[in-house]
């Protein structure tokens, strides 16, 4: 594997924002997720649950509800009172439309996706028509006192049920009149406490399912106004509810972090009578489960502990495969850290500010596994707060550590870092050319004299950095026509000639050559790219896809390398393909051209192209067994993938020089302590 | 019926009350539960054990009400029979012999003439199968039940691993839900092995208990993929049993926490608890009207609990302590057996009612259930002759430095219980090995002294002293000046002679005899090699003898007058127990995996009674319990059982302790027989036999049947409405009055080989023992065969009988 001096960085104090709401695409291929900081993410189920798109949040734009409508259009509504459409190709929020009823607590689309209903603070339910290019207010439904916290359409679109505090009501859509109003805490003795209906669903059979703050899931016959069944699932509130498409299964999220499944089951074998039965409990979260979704094959839940959990339903999965595995996502599938190799600086990106740290250093050496004492502690140099309410899209520090750039939805900022003795000062570079915002990726060239900015529609802007603090727009690289508009550019790192930039979209990767013109296009692959890099000496492009495939493309020869072909023909190891998280970063060892270093959240891998590939019968993670073998036997057992799982969860890894590595960890426990206290629960044995 | 007359060993009590789930009768007035070989009928209202239904020759493993007649009960046993009882009258109706061990029994309303049982699979160890046993219809009482059809293979042996659920009757036959759980191996996620299974009575729902304390409710289980379950979790350790209420709305669960949990509507949020039930719950059963439920606990207790989870009453059997360190002591006051009970408690156990009378907290410390914790436990108990004083010794489990306490308790008549009088810390420097009181009625209170022997090589004498106090005279105990020792040997046993004048203390190999007034060493005996294991003085006519058993396999009798060895026999005695009311001494030996009983008088080297192969298990302890009234009927044959009964405590392989009782088959009904022609006839018959016995009786131990034949006995016991017709009975009745023919068995020699090993020291002894043995076996044979031959006088009688009118029988 090679020996490295490792900087084990644990001072990246990232606290991912909690999950506020989830929306499953009606066709079940994508999942939209909104976080409490207003960020919206889109996960692609087909591409190994890859976090395909991220739209950073906005201070004034909280998202309370998301829904897909009219095909692939995603709408969000929040307490700002606006309904926002998200531009998924441009990764930005389009202009919002005011709902006109104060803060919006919930929004649902009807079964055809042509109408949106919103529930407002003032107790009104409003219907909006989805029209091309935006939405149009259609009409108001019957307004009653009490904020509308949740809504649900009847599958036939004839009725809407709206849940409020202490009651819910059923509204006839055509007449706009409330046809039934049901008090939910009518039977409760302790009725002094208000009972919040947090989630509601109207089934095709006319049954209303409500989840309330007393921890109950109740089934009502709305026409009669009677309670059919009541299940107390939790001692604390039941916050969220989702019904499967067949209406035979319900998932409920509670404020204790537990989720429960309720299933409609026949009482006796072959009998007609069916009853809802609480079946499986799941405890994946430590905090409130604010959002749940029910895909045909999985239960999806998101909690305030920032976790997204996808629990497949084993009985719905035909064959036992990788799809049957439980997945948990806490950290983003992208890089939030950049590293200045020469200056040994780390730039951490938070939602609204950046932090620049200098790595510690040691003079001692030691054996494998030893912890070396630091002679110079890591130093927090500067914190750079972003201006305005917008959150940061991307950031980068130049290899020499003198330039820092970041971009928000509307603006791009470039700073010059001055290190004078102990103090560090930042000076904003004036007159940065205005770009078509936003910038998705930033990249400094290896010699820090130019900056590449990946922008919308697959274009890349090249800036020349001028001393003592200025920049000039040199050139704009545009992808060949045909791929335009569909690209989500990625910039590779480690380009040798300072001008070699590759830009790869999910569909068509394309490569630009040093002459700043289109050089070639990498053949299409039907999965999203999760990371890519160009080798500084060989000019080979290494691409990692979200389905865990690895490809190596030779830029000078405009074709896949022989190694890559060998990998494709043999196939990768099964254990490699069945990993959970995508490769987020690729780097190279300048000393050893055959080495590729890559990492995902759970492992760090040194890929040695000179060694044979492992087949399915051998152990993929064999480093610990190799250690125990004698020298000769070890030689025989060696294979290309040298994997280290020591650092977890791994947010970033880079090579500072040929034998010095920096890894950035964010231990789950550290991050859990930053979260607010969960609901107090008695635990046995404490 | 078992042939009466011979001495046999009967499990009389203390057996596990938790062999199987208890059953409530249909009207919930009676609780039927298993107690060893018996099934007991307990009245829920009066809290009395009404009936004891015995007849199985081994442990009863399952009881179920007959679904077609709620007054009948099926029971199955390890002896391979299924019996059908009328439990209201306590009589067996039918016996079906299956032939293999039966481990659990299930009945089904839709299965007309079959029951289900779990049997071990032939040829394979530890695999069991569920079979359906067809109960043949026949006139007789004993029927074959060999028609087995295998229902399910590879089931668990425990009755908790199979449950029968809802039955569906359809024109094409009936279906029923059958669930069986196996013990899967531990998975890495946790120990989720199944421990029990029950079925919902109305719905398709199965509840299973798991080793990790979870209860799972399975639904949709007929679908291979889309089955689903919900989990109820409260128990922290294995769920021992589950029970659904009749409508299935409530589920009861119990485990080692000794808490009964009631779950409502399968919801994990709604549950009720009944805590502090005392000991782990092993079985739960529910009455059919849902009013009562009962839990069987590991400490041999049955608790009856109301439907609103209110504890109602309990039946406490013998508590099985891990190690009965105190031995088997008889409380002179209540005639109850006294032994270790709950940790730190002394239990008083009544053999007559097979129930615990009360439990006395000796250690008076909170017992903490934790592995590896050193607990204080009771190790020795002694009663004074009248039962007014009780001495107890407790020690902590530490081997090197035991924390010893000697406590003396005085029986307070007012509160009817023992009160702590004196507590002596560290009475000895090392473990106390034995302890006894001297208590003579004639000598008054001054005579009351206590002797303790310890491993610190001394024996100490404790006396009672009086002290005046403002409140009056206070009695307390303190050490006498005298501390005896002998050559620095460890003192192992002590005992007083009958008149209290002599104290015998054994020091390893030596028995020393001391004058209890002057504390002079009178004489010493020893029989090297080997340490003395037990000693005792002879009583009454044999009071000049002292008996000792060595761990080298010798039983020695020394004469105190001549100070010489009177006789000795090679016998590996484990228990030496003198009868307090007679001169007989019982010695129980353990040799080649069987226990044998020898009863002898110290003045005769020949045993008066030998019973080989008393039981397969090692007998740990024995005690003579004085009878309330001397037994007359048995006195001729077994004089040593006249005044007392002998009880044993055995230790079976599964670490269960049972109390066994040798008792005489007596016929209580006989004495109170009204004067009828029948009774006259019986009387004559009996008289005749007695005459014969005197003719024959020389040295032979009489074990001819003393009372009427089983047929007659049964005739008298059985209620008339279940009796067969008189004409059917007549021949049996006549036959029973015939005298059996004496016949020597050819097999009697077989035992002689075994005899060699236990050869007594002198040859004459050996001969006699063999002779006795032969007698014994021959009688057994005789009883088995019942070959009859008429004597002349009996023929005359018969003729008379024939002339008599039997119409009275039909009138019965």
Query: Which of A218, A237, A269 would you mutate first to test chain B, the one with the most B CBs within 10 A?
Result: A269
pLDDT for residue B187 is more than 50: no
pLDDT, averaged across chain A: 85
Neighbours of B107 (CB within 10 A): 18
- CB contacts of B228 in chain A (<8 Å) are 261, 263, 265, 277, 279-280, 315
- CB contacts of B168 in chain A (<8 Å) are 269
pLDDT for residue A492 is more than 50: yes
Scanning every residue of chain B, which has its alpha carbon at the shortest distance from the alpha carbon of A215?
B269
pTM of the model: 0.74
- CB contacts of A684 in chain B (<8 Å) are 236
pLDDT for residue B322 is more than 80: no
**Is A226 in the B-facing interface, judged by CB distances under 8 Å?**
no
- CB contacts of B267 in chain A (<8 Å) are 231-232, 278
- Nearest by CB to residue B225, choosing from A265, A277, A315, is A315
CB contact under 8 A, A280 and B230: yes
pLDDT for residue A74 is more than 90: yes
B 175-214 → A contacts, CB under 8 A: 202-204
Scanning every residue of chain B, which has its alpha carbon at the shortest distance from the alpha carbon of A276?
B219
CB contact under 8 A, B219 and A265: yes
- CB contacts of B220 in chain A (<8 Å) are 263, 265-266
CB contact under 8 A, A233 and B269: yes
Give dist(CA A670, CA A13) in Å, integer.
8
What is the per-residue pLDDT for A190? 58
CA dihedral B290→B291→B295→B300, nearest 10 degrees, is -130
B 657-686 → A contacts, CB under 8 A: none
pLDDT digits (tens, 9 = 90+) for A374-427: 888 888 988 999 888 889 999 999 988 889 999 888 888 899 988 777 778 888
CB contact under 8 A, B266 and A315: no
The arithmetic mean of pLDDT across residues A192-201, rounded, is 89
What is the per-residue pLDDT for A52? 85
pLDDT digits (tens, 9 = 90+) for B73-90: 999 988 889 999 998 888
- Nearest by CB to residue A267, choosing from B203, B222, B225, is B203
B539 in Cβ contact with B499 (< 8 Å): no
**Is A266 in the B-facing interface, judged by CB distances under 8 Å?**
yes
- CB contacts of A236 in chain B (<8 Å) are none
A359 in Cβ contact with A370 (< 8 Å): no
The arithmetic mean of pLDDT across residues A303-310, rounded, is 92
- Nearest by CB to residue B230, choosing from A235, A266, A279, is A279
**Is A232 in the B-facing interface, judged by CB distances under 8 Å?**
yes
Scanning every residue of chain A, which has its alpha carbon at the shortest distance from the alpha carbon of B271?
A232
**Is A369 in the B-facing interface, judged by CB distances under 8 Å?**
no
What is the per-residue pLDDT for A482? 55
The helix (H) or strand (E) run that includes residue B696 is: helix B677-696
- Those residues whose C-beta lies under 8 Å from the C-beta of residue B415, and which sit 6 or more positions away, are none
Crossing angle of helices B792-803/B677-696, nearest 10°? 180
Q: How far are the Cα atoms of A31, A333, A506, A528, A569 from residue A53, in angstroms, in the given order?
A: 11, 10, 11, 10, 31
pLDDT, averaged across chain B: 75
Q: How far are the Cα atoms of A2, A188, A347, A451 from residue A341, in angstroms, in the given order?
A: 20, 65, 11, 16
In terms of Cα–Cα distance, which of A6, A1, A171 is closest to A650? Answer: A6
B679 in Cβ contact with B672 (< 8 Å): no
Query: How close B264 comes to chain A (CA, Å)?
Result: 11
Beta bridge partner(s), residue B153: B129
Could you list the beta-strand ranges (E) of A284-352.
Answer: 289-294, 298-303, 308-312, 327-329, 337-340, 345-349
Q: How far are the Cα atoms of A124, A300, A460 from residue A143, in angstroms, in the given order?
A: 4, 33, 51
pLDDT bin (cut points 50, 70, 90) of residue A205 is very high
**Is A571 in the B-facing interface, judged by CB distances under 8 Å?**
no
Lowest mean pLDDT among A162-166, B197-201, B613-617, B808-812: B808-812
pLDDT for residue A503 is more than 60: no
CB contact under 8 A, B204 and A268: yes
pLDDT bin (cut points 50, 70, 90) of residue B190 is low
| Burial of B225 from C-beta contacts in 10 A (0-12 / 13-18 / 19+) | exposed
Q: How far are the Cα atoms of B477, B749, B750 from residue B753, in angstroms, in the given order?
A: 55, 8, 7
Q: Please give the backbone phi and psi of residue B626, each rounded to the nearest 5 degrees, phi first.
A: -60, 140
What secondary structure does DSSP assign to B103-171, as a single string?
-EEE--TT-TTEEEEEEEPTT-TT-EEEEEEE----SSSEEE---EEEEEEEE-SSGGGEEEEEEEEET
- CB contacts of A214 in chain B (<8 Å) are none
What contacts 24+ positions apart, CB below 8 Å, involve A231-237? A231/A262, A231/A276, A231/A278, A231/B267, A232/B267, A232/B269, A232/B270, A233/A260, A233/A262, A233/A278, A233/B269, A234/A258, A234/A260, A234/B269, A235/B269, A236/A679, A237/A196, A237/A198, A237/A212, A237/A213
- The size of the A-B interface in CB pairs under 8 A is 54
- Those residues whose C-beta lies under 8 Å from the C-beta of residue A287, and which sit 6 or more positions away, are A18, A257, A303, A304, A305, A675, A676, A678, A679
pLDDT for residue A106 is more than 90: yes
- The pLDDT > 90 percentage for chain B reads 7
pLDDT for residue A165 is more than 50: yes
**Is A685 in the B-facing interface, judged by CB distances under 8 Å?**
yes
CB contact under 8 A, B231 and A315: no
Give dist(CA A326, CA B786) in Å, integer.
76
ipTM: 0.79
pLDDT bin (cut points 50, 70, 90) of residue B764 is very low
3-state secondary structure A482-494: CCCCCCCCCCCEC
* Furthest C-alpha separation in chain A: 83
**Is B236 in the A-facing interface, judged by CB distances under 8 Å?**
yes
A 297-316 → B contacts, CB under 8 A: 314-315
pLDDT for residue A685 is more than 90: no
pLDDT for residue A162 is more than 70: yes
Give dist(CA B635, CA B656) in Å, integer.
33
CB contact under 8 A, B228 and A278: no
Task: Report, in angstroms and rounded to the nearest whole number, the Rg of chain B calculated over CA atoms.
Answer: 30
pLDDT digits (tens, 9 = 90+) for B652-678: 433 333 344 433 222 222 333 333 334
What is the per-residue pLDDT for A455? 79
Structure tokens at B344: 């730190």
Classify B771 as helix, strand or coil. Answer: helix
Query: How close A266 comes to chain B (CA, Å)?
Result: 7
B 245-284 → A contacts, CB under 8 A: 266-270
- CB contacts of A681 in chain B (<8 Å) are none
**Is A280 in the B-facing interface, judged by CB distances under 8 Å?**
yes
The arithmetic mean of pLDDT across residues A44-62, rounded, is 87
Give dist(CA A441, CA A460) in Å, integer.
9
Query: How close A155 comes to chain B (CA, Å)?
Result: 25
The arithmetic mean of pLDDT across residues A231-236, rounded, is 88
Q: How far are the Cα atoms of A334, A354, A395, A427, A476 from residue A406, in angstroms, in the given order?
A: 15, 9, 4, 13, 19
CA angle in degrees (0–180, nearest 5) for A606-A608-A609: 140
pLDDT higher at B168 or B336 = B336
What is the per-residue pLDDT for B63? 92
In terms of Cα–Cα distance, which of B71, B51, B72, B65 is closest to B20? Answer: B65
Lowest mean pLDDT among A660-669, A673-682, B531-540, B659-668: B659-668
Query: How close A490 comes to chain B (CA, Å)?
Result: 41
- Nearest by CB to residue B203, choosing from A231, A232, A268, is A268
What is the per-residue pLDDT for B7? 63
What is the per-residue pLDDT for B173? 52
pLDDT bin (cut points 50, 70, 90) of residue B710 is low
pLDDT digits (tens, 9 = 90+) for B21-52: 899 999 889 999 988 778 889 898 888 888 88
């Amino acid at each position: 594997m090679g020996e490295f001096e490792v900087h084990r960085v644990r001072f990246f104090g990232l606290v991912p924002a909690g999950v506020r709401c989830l929306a499953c695409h009606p066709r079940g291929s994508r999942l939209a997720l909104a976080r409490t900081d207003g960020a919206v993410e889109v996960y692609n189920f087909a591409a190994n649950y890859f976090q395909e798109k991220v739209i950073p949040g906005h201070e004034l734009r909280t998202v309370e509800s998301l829904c897909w409508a009219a095909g692939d259009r995603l709408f969000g509504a929040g307490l700002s009172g606006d309904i926002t459409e998200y531009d998924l190709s441009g990764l930005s929020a389009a202009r919002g439309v005011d709902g006109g009823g104060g803060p919006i607590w919930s929004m649902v689309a009807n079964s055809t996706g042509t109408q949106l209903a919103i529930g407002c603070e003032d107790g009104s339910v409003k219907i909006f028509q989805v029209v091309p290019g935006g939405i149009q207010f259609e009409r108001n439904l019957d307004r009653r006192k009490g904020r509308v916290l949740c809504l649900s359409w009847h599958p036939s679109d004839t009725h809407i049920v709206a849940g409020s505090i202490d009651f819910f009501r059923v509204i006839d859509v055509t007449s706009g009149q409330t046809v039934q109003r049901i008090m939910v805490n009518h039977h409760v003795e302790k009725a002094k406490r208000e009972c919040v209906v947090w989630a509601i669903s109207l089934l095709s059979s006319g049954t209303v399912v409500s989840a309330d703050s007393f921890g109950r899931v109740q089934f009502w016959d709305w026409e009669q106004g009677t309670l059919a069944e009541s299940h107390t699932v939790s001692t604390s509130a039941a916050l969220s509810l989702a019904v499967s498409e067949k209406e035979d299964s319900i998932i409920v999220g509670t404020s204790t972090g537990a989720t429960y499944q309720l299933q409609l089951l026949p009482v006796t074998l072959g009998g007609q009578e069916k009853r809802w039965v609480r079946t499986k409990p799941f405890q994946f979260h430590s905090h409130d489960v604010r959002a749940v979704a029910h895909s045909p094959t999985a239960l999806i839940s998101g909690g305030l502990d920032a976790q997204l959990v996808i629990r497949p339903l084993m009985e719905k999965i035909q064959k036992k495969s990788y799809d049957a595995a439980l997945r948990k996502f806490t950290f983003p599938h992208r890089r939030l850290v950049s590293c200045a190799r020469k200056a040994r600086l780390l730039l951490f990106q938070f939602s609204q500010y950046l932090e620049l740290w200098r790595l510690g250093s040691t003079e001692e050496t030691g054996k494998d596994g030893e912890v070396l004492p630091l002679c110079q502690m890591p130093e927090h140099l500067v914190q750079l707060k972003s201006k305005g309410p917008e959150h940061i899209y991307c950031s980068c520090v130049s290899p020499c550590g003198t330039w820092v750039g970041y971009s928000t939805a509307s603006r791009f900022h470039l700073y010059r870092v001055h290190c004078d003795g102990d103090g560090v000062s930042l000076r904003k570079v004036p007159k940065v050319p205005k770009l078509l915002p936003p910038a998705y990726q930033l990249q400094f060239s290896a010699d820090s004299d130019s900056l590449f900015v990946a922008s919308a529609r697959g274009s890349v802007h090249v800036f020349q950095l001028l001393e003592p603090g200025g920049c000039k727009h040199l050139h704009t690289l545009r992808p060949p026509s045909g791929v335009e508009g569909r690209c989500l550019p990625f910039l590779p790192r480690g380009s040798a000639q300072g001008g070699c930039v590759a830009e790869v979209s999910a569909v068509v990767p394309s490569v630009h050559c040093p002459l700043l013109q289109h050089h070639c296009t990498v053949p299409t692959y039907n999965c999203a790219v999760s990371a890519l890099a160009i080798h500084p000496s060989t000019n080979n492009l290494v691409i990692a896809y979200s389905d865990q495939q690895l490809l190596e493309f030779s830029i000078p020869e405009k074709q896949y390398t022989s190694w890559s072909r060998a990998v494709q023909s043999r196939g990768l190891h099964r254990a490699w393909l069945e990993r959970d998280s995508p490769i987020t970063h690729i780097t190279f060892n300048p000393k050893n051209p055959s080495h590729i270093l890559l990492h995902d959240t759970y492992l760090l891998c040194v890929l040695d192209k000179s060694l044979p590939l492992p087949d399915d019968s051998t152990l993929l993670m064999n480093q610990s067994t190799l250690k125990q073998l004698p020298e000769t036997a070890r030689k025989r057992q060696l294979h290309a993938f040298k994997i280290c799982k020591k650092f977890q969860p791994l947010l970033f890894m880079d090579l500072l020089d040929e034998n010095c590595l920096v890894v950035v960890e964010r231990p789950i426990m550290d991050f859990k302590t930053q979260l607010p206290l969960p609901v107090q629960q008695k635990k046995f044995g404490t | 019926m078992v042939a009466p007359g011979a001495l046999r060993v009967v499990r009389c009590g203390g057996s596990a009350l938790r062999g199987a789930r208890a059953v409530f009768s249909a009207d919930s007035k009676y609780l039927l539960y298993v107690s060893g070989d018996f099934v007991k009928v307990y009245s829920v209202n009066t809290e009395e054990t009404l009936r004891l239904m015995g007849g199985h020759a081994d442990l009863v493993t399952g009881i179920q009400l007959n679904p077609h007649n709620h007054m009948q009960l099926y029971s199955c046993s390890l002896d391979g029979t299924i019996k059908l009882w009328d439990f209201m009258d306590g009589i067996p109706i039918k016996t079906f012999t299956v032939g293999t061990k039966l481990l659990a029994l299930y009945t089904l309303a839709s299965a007309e003439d079959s029951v289900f049982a779990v049997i071990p699979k032939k040829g394979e160890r530890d695999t069991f199968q569920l079979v359906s046993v067809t109960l043949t219809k026949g006139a007789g009482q004993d029927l074959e039940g060999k028609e087995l059809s295998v229902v399910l293979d590879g089931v668990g042996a425990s009755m908790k691993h199979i449950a029968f659920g809802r039955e569906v009757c359809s024109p094409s036959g009936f279906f029923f839900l059958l669930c069986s759980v196996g013990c899967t191996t531990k998975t890495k996620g946790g120990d989720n092995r199944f421990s029990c299974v029950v079925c919902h009575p109305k719905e398709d729902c199965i509840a299973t208990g798991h080793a990790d304390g979870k209860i799972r409710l399975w639904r949709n289980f007929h679908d291979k993929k889309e089955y689903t379950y919900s989990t109820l979790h409260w128990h922290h350790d294995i769920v021992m049993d589950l029970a659904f209420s009749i409508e299935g709305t409530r589920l009861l669960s119990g485990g080692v926490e000794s808490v009964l949990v009631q779950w409502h509507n399968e919801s994990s949020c709604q549950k009720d608890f009944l805590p502090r039930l005392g000991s782990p719950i092993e079985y739960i059963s529910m009455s059919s009207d849902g009013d009562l439920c009962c839990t069987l606990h590991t400490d041999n207790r049955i608790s009856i609990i109301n439907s609103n989870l209110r504890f109602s009453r309990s039946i406490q059997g013998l508590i099985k302590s891990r190690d009965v360190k105190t031995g088997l002591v008889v409380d002179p006051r209540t005639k109850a057996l006294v032994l270790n009970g709950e940790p730190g408690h002394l239990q008083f156990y009544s053999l007559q009612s097979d129930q615990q009378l009360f439990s006395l907290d000796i250690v008076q410390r909170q017992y903490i259930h934790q592995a590896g914790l050193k607990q204080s436990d009771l190790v020795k108990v002694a009663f004074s002759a009248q039962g007014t004083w009780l001495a107890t010794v407790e020690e902590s489990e530490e081997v090197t430095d035991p924390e010893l306490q000697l406590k003396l308790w005085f029986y307070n008549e007012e509160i009817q219980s023992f009160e702590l009088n004196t507590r002596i810390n560290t009475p000895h420097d090392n473990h106390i090995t034995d302890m006894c009181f001297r208590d003579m009625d004639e000598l008054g209170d001054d005579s009351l002294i206590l002797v303790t022997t310890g491993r610190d090589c001394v024996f100490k004498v404790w006396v009672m002293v009086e002290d005046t106090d403002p409140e009056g005279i206070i009695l307390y105990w303190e050490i006498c000046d005298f501390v005896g020792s002998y050559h620095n040997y460890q003192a192992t046993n002590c005992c007083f002679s009958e008149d209290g004048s002599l104290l015998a203390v054994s020091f390893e190999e030596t028995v020393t005899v001391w004058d209890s007034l002057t504390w002079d060493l009178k004489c010493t005996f020893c029989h090297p090699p080997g340490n003395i294991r037990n000693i005792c003085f002879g009583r009454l006519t044999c009071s000049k003898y002292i008996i000792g058993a060595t761990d080298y396999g010798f039983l020695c009798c020394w004469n105190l007058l001549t100070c010489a060895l009177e006789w000795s026999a090679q016998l590996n005695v484990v228990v030496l127990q003198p009868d307090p009311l007679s001169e007989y001494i019982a010695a129980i030996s353990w040799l080649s995996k069987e226990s044998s009983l020898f009863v002898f008088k110290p003045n005769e080297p020949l045993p008066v009674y030998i019973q080989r192969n008393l039981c397969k298990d090692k007998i740990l302890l024995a005690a003579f319990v004085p009878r309330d009234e001397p037994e007359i009927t048995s006195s001729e044959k077994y004089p040593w059982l006249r005044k007392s009964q002998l009880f044993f405590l055995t230790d079976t392989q599964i670490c269960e302790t049972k109390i066994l009782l040798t008792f005489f088959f007596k016929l209580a009904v006989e004495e109170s027989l009204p004067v009828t022609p029948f009774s006259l006839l019986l009387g004559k018959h009996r008289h005749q036999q007695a005459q014969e016995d005197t003719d024959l009786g020389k040295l032979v131990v009489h074990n001819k049947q003393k009372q009427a034949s089983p047929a007659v006995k049964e005739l008298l016991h059985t209620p008339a409405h279940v009796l067969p017709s008189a004409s059917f009975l007549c021949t049996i009745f006549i036959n029973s009055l015939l005298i059996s023919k004496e016949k020597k068995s050819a097999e009697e020699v077989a035992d002689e080989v075994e005899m060699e090993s236990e050869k007594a020291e002198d040859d004459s002894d050996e001969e006699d023992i063999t002779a006795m043995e032969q007698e014994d076996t021959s009688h057994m044979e005789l009883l088995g065969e019942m070959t009859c031959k008429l004597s002349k006088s009996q023929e005359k009688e018969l003729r008379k009988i024939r002339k008599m009118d039997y119409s009275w029988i039909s009138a019965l």
